[in-house]
């Protein structure tokens, strides 16, 4: 089991309930894949450093989790097919 963190940005046009549902969806993917969620840090709506798809704001969320090496691949796949995700990043934390 390794420690990972993922940061993802959701579209600003989503309402508060849709943002919470998105975060719960990604937490569910981690927990159903055999991982454990260590921390969820919702940063809220922030301005992007540069415009992406004609959008300059987004809802930022950081999730720290522990999982085996296959789970980040599945999480990446789910991020890519989920509508409303502008950008995402999954990194392994240093030991």
Q: Which fold, 2-92?
A: Alpha-Beta Plaits (3.30.70)
Answer for the pair 69, 90: CB distance below 8 angstroms, yes or no.
no
- Tell me the pLDDT tens digit for each residue of 41-67: 999 999 999 999 899 999 999 999 999
pTM score: 0.90
Answer for the pair 80, 33: CB distance below 8 angstroms, yes or no.
no
pLDDT of the residue at 53: 86
Domain limits of the chain? 2-92
How far from chain centre, in Å, is Cα 60? 8
Helix (H) or strand (E) holding 31: helix 16-32
């Amino acid at each position: 089991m390794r420690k990972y963190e993922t940061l993802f940005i959701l579209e600003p046009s989503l309402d508060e309930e849709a943002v919470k549902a998105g975060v719960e969806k990604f937490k569910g993917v981690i927990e159903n894949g055999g991982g454990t969620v260590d921390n969820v840090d919702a940063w809220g709506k922030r301005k992007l450093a540069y415009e992406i798809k004609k959008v300059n704001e987004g809802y930022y969320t950081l999730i720290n989790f522990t999982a085996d090496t296959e789970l980040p691949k599945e999480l990446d796949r789910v991020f890519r097919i989920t509508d409303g995700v502008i950008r995402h990043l999954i990194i392994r934390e240093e030991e």
